[in-house]
Amino acid sequence: MKFFKDEQGNTVIAQKPNKPLIWALVFVALGSIGDRVDIETKVVQVLYLSAYGGFLIWSVLEIVQGVNWLRKLLGVAGLVLTLFSLYRRFLQ
């Protein structure tokens, strides 16, 4: 199926996570810990904003540089979910 194939015709389903995704997951974990131990709200907001930044960078990189259509679709889904979550957390 072409959906899973890269430019050379190799089937690619999974790849190592790239740095912005790891960065985002680390900041989500730190923000979650900050929520639980009652760290100052502004610090937790900065942690979550950093996580959203990582998710946004990751999703744009997947859309632009994804090796197949599955990865590009994953980037679009990540972008939509990140923007929705960002709106709900800070702008609602």
pLDDT in tens, 42-59: 888 999 999 999 999 999
pTM given for the model: 0.86
Region of residue 35 (left: phi > 0; alpha: psi -120 to 50; beta: else): alpha
pLDDT tens-digit map of 15-42: 777 899 999 999 999 999 988 887 788 8
